[in-house]
Amino acid sequence: MQRLYAFIRSHPTGVDCFWALVLFGISLVSLTTPQPRSEGTDTTALLLGFTVLLCFVIALRQRMPEKMLVLALALGAGQLVLDVSTLPADFAFLVIIYTVAATGARWASRTALAVGLCAAPLAQLRWADGGLGIGANIAITVFQAVPFALAWVLGDSVRTRRAYFAQLEERAARLEKEREAQSKVAVAAERARIARELHDVVAHNVSVMVVQADGAAYVLDTAPDQAKKALETISSTGRQALAEMRRLLGVLRTGEHQEAGEYVPQPDVQQIEDLVEQCRSSGLPVDFKVEGTPRELPSGVELTAYRIVQEALTNTRKHGGPNAGASVRLVYFDDGLGLLIEDDGKGAPHELYEEGGFDGQGHGMIGMRERVGMVGGTLDAGPRPGGGFRISALLPLKPAP
């Protein structure tokens, strides 16, 4: 049934030609059937000519509705002038009125309505039955005008319905364009997120460097060995910051061709311990434990885990207060990696985790949620019982379907 409907929609002229042949066959049967004729000028050749032309109107009504309307009006006027009695093919008048009301130009639709309403009175005047009274003739005229009015109303309703669906399609197309625009915005947001991550990387490493530099300056004369160790920490931290900046800036410069040798390896779970040592050396006590059997993880999971711990410890330094301590737990499950980062500080403002961040703060938390979502994991962040802040995450080893 669907195939038949699709064929009909894709071959409208062919379908109209079929119905034109059907109407022509009915008209031929009527013409060959003996019946009393009026005193008009009806001849078989004349009737056959009008029938062929009216069927022609049916066949091409959708391809050229306005022209077929003009032809139908000319044929109707010809019937009146030549006194050609009503034919079965006159059904074409109703069809063309419906067609122009549904698909034709507005002027054609209005013309079809006006002529259709005038057709019945003109026909009644031309072929009036003298044996009937005035009231009966008026009633017959109204009755004959109803089909023309209904044909136009039906066609105009179809036009309105099609216009409505066209608006829906236009709206759908507009929504599709909006979705494409939103996708571009999402790409821009992702690039902005990488830029925020760059800021967080720099903030983390620079804070460590500043603390180490102040400590080195303080013990430079009294404890040269400690000052030397602090300078080495500054040097290694600075190199790591430069490497991270180089990698992230390379991602942002997507329009430029970068050689693979210009990128450095992404941070992984193994480097979390180095990150913890940096925090300890900068004055933040951190308890670090690994549970389960460590094994190789997908690179996206490893990078996400590293960034979560990095941002969590950075937030502890920002919001935890001077006496805050932190703990980091990595748990290897059969199907994923669990992270639990807690601190006993003052805790972060509620806007940081409830509203997704605000101007000047919270960018790292937004990036954290984005990263976890990208690997199909779950993240929970908020104050913990007894004070402080807790971040827990579960990163699956396989991406979400």
C-alpha distances in Å from residue 57, one per residue of 17, 64, 138, 150: 10, 9, 30, 19
Distance separating alpha carbons of residues 81 and 372, to the nearest angstrom: 84
Specify whether the backbone of 387 is left (phi greater than 0), alpha (psi in -120 to 50) or beta: left
C-beta of residue 337 within 8 angstroms of C-beta of residue 378:
no
Q: SS3 helix, strand, coil % of the chain, rounded to 5?
A: 65, 10, 25
pLDDT at 258: 41
pLDDT at 356: 44
Q: Of 94, 84, 79, 67, nearest to 151 (Cα)?
A: 94
Higher-confidence residue: 161 or 320?
161
Percent of the chain predicted with pLDDT > 90? 27
DSSP 8-class letter at 361: B
Q: What is the mean pLDDT of residues 139-166?
A: 90
Most confidently predicted of 13-22, 26-35, 314-323: 13-22
Q: Is the pLDDT of residue 116 over 70?
A: yes
Residue 309, judged by CB atoms within 10 A of its CB (0-12, 13-18, 19+), counts as buried
Q: Is the pLDDT of residue 264 over 70?
A: no
* Antiparallel, parallel or unpaired: β 389-396 and 326-332: unpaired
Residue 30 pLDDT class (50, 70, 90 cuts): confident
pLDDT at 186: 75
Residue 363 pLDDT class (50, 70, 90 cuts): low
C-alpha distances in Å from residue 194, one per residue of 121, 164, 253, 267, 336: 79, 44, 11, 15, 25
Q: Is the pLDDT of residue 263 over 50?
A: no
Q: What is the mean pLDDT of residues 32-36?
A: 63
Within a 10 A sphere around the Cβ of 395, how many other Cβ atoms? 24
Residue 201 pLDDT class (50, 70, 90 cuts): low
Instruction: Give the residues across from 327 on adjacent strands.
Output: 287, 342
Distance separating alpha carbons of residues 236 and 208, to the nearest angstrom: 11
Q: Is the pLDDT of residue 399 over 80?
A: no
What are the residue boundaries of the structural domains of the chain, listed by start?
A: 2-127, 270-401
The mean pLDDT value of the chain amounts to 81
Lowest mean pLDDT among 220-234, 275-289, 348-362: 348-362
Q: Is the pLDDT of residue 262 over 50?
A: no
Specify whether the backbone of 217 is left (phi greater than 0), alpha (psi in -120 to 50) or beta: alpha
Higher-confidence residue: 367 or 311?
311
Lowest mean pLDDT among 41-55, 114-128, 254-268, 358-372: 254-268
Q: What is the mean pLDDT of residues 149-166?
A: 92
Q: Look at residue 187 and give its three-state secondary structure.
A: helix
**Residue 56 is encoded by which pair of tokens?**
């022609």
Q: Cα-flanking dihedrals φ and ψ of residue 169, to 5°?
A: -65, -40
Q: Is the pLDDT of residue 163 over 50?
A: yes
Q: What is the mean pLDDT of residues 347-362?
A: 49
Residue 249 pLDDT class (50, 70, 90 cuts): low
Instruction: Give the residues across from 241 on adjacent strands.
Output: none
Percent of the chain predicted with pLDDT > 70? 82
pLDDT at 261: 40
Q: What is the mean pLDDT of residues 297-325?
A: 85
Most confidently predicted of 154-168, 186-200, 358-372: 154-168
| Contacts (Cβ under 8 Å, ≥6 apart) of 213 | 230, 234
Q: Is the pLDDT of residue 89 over 50?
A: yes
DSSP 8-class letter at 349: -
Strand arrangement, sheet containing 286-291:
286-291, 326-332, 336-343, 389-396, 378-383
CATH number belonging to the domain at 270-401, selected among 3.40.50.2300, 3.40.1160.10, 3.50.30.10, 3.30.565.10:
3.30.565.10
Model confidence, pTM: 0.47
Lowest mean pLDDT among 56-70, 159-173, 224-238: 224-238
pLDDT at 252: 60
Q: What is the mean pLDDT of residues 300-307?
A: 86
C-beta of residue 169 within 8 angstroms of C-beta of residue 140:
no
Within a 10 A sphere around the Cβ of 23, how many other Cβ atoms? 23
Most confidently predicted of 218-232, 237-251, 378-392: 378-392
Render pLDDT for 210-242 as a digit per residue (tens, 0 to 9).
Answer: 777 877 787 777 888 888 887 887 887 777 777
